[in-house]
Structure 1
Amino acid sequence: MAEIGQRPKKLCFVTIGATASFDSLISACLEPRFLEALAGAGYTHLVIQYGKEGKSLYDRAVSESLRTKELEISVTGFDFNRDGLGQEMRAAKGEARGVEGVVISHAGSGSILDALRIDVPLIVVPNPSLLDNHQVELAEALEEQGYVVHGRLEDLSVAIAQSEELRKRHKQWPPVNSGQHRRARGLAGVMDEEMGFLD
């Protein structure tokens, strides 16, 4: 297998958000089956925003995971970024004519909208530990409309394959009959227009 530096960079960015801990998402993203799915889809980098309380879990899981070295996936993490997560999401989008990655996010509306604006494939994973949790309904509705993949903690490896299909569908978005101004802007342009963020 080629060295990480020699292969085109393909990044998976995982965010748990800024307010609630989501240890089960951090753990799920460091499981061998998920790492194998990433490697199988050509990913070279995994960046995890583990939040205020997730550092010890992240450190322990990374030190126990030998699969990252075997699969040649570079794994890094951080707790919080005061400037937001736009830079990391754009890195997952990839450079012009580069290899595109994916964002895996908790089902917080702010993170979802940020990823949709960048037009990067998005896997939304509801946090089952939250009270009065409406995240499942949000993830299901967005998946039904074709914007995201509804990821499940039990098997995120399936979501990686589904995100590759989502990427192909987004490349065809919007439909040909929707006008030239939309054709050039992709899904992010459609979402901006729907939300009222016009240039």
Structure 2
Amino acid sequence: MLAFVTVGSTRFDGLVHRALSDNVLDTLRSKGYDHLVVQCGNSDFDTSEFTRAGDTWTRQQKGGVLVEVWRFKPTLQEEYKRADLVISHAGSGTILDVLRLQKPLIVVPNSTLMDDHQQELAVSLDDLGHVKAATVQNLLLVIEGFNRATLVPFPAFDGSRFREILDEEMGYPY
């Protein structure tokens, strides 16, 4: 099974370091994951244990988890589709993309960003049951206790709802 971690276009060293830590990799392996792909953006990580081929760093973790790390791709849609679990920063675009694909999602707000807006979104979606919110510090515990069967499916997009809201705001009759 494949777990995919993404930090988006920003720098989120804490999430990258935690995802690549031995204890998180051991926990993922114990839950059946044998492949971890990390989109690290501009984050720094220790490349000394990795082999580089082009834009991708790889290593075989002891215990059998294949780890791939790369910085950017034009789109992450294929990665989301391939993943059995997505662990992501709490950017709204990423969250919507993953939830629309009905993929299980753990969101980790990047508290270093301006006004910590990701925290609000993560908590709200967790309260609704669509995602599991975590912090860098408790990510291991959230992965250990994660049960995708408890997630509430995200509703399908309804384009007419936007029109209704816009009409209401503009004062148009229905």
Task: Give the structure-1-normalised TM-score.
Answer: 0.71
Q: Residue 119 of structure 2 corresponds to which residue in structure 1?
A: 136
How far apart in 2 are the matches of 1:195 and 1:61?
51
Q: Residue 81 of structure 1 corresponds to which residue in structure 2?
A: 73
Amino acid at match of 2:20: L
The Cα of 1:41 is off from its aligned counterpart by: 0.1
How far apart in 2 are the matches of 1:75 and 1:12?
10
Q: Which moved more, 1:151-160 or 1:42-51?
A: 151-160
Structure 1, unaligned runs of 5 or more? 1-9, 93-100, 174-186
Is residue 29 of structure 2 the alignment partner of residue 29 of structure 1?
A: no
Structure 2, unaligned runs of 5 or more? 52-58, 163-174
Task: Give the structure-2-normalised TM-score.
Answer: 0.80
Who wins on radius of gyration, i.e. which is larger? 2
8 A Cα contact 2:40 2:70, kept in partner:
yes
3-state DSSP class of the match of 2:106?
strand
3-state DSSP class of the match of 1:48?
strand
Is residue 39 of structure 2 the alignment partner of residue 39 of structure 1?
A: no
Pairing 1:125-164 to 2, within 5 Å after superposition:
125-163=108-146
What's the Cα RMSD here?
2.3
8 A Cα contact 2:61 2:67, kept in partner:
no
Which structure has the highest strand share of the two? 2
Is residue 156 of structure 2 the alignment partner of residue 168 of structure 1?
A: no
The Cα of 1:59 is off from its aligned counterpart by: 1.9
How far apart in 2 are the matches of 1:196 and 1:14?
32
The Cα of 1:29 is off from its aligned counterpart by: 0.3
How far apart in 2 are the matches of 1:57 and 1:30?
9
How far apart in 2 are the matches of 1:58 and 1:142?
33
How far apart in 1 are the matches of 2:101 and 2:46?
27
- Inter-CA distance 147–80: structure 2 relative to 1 (3 Å threshold): same
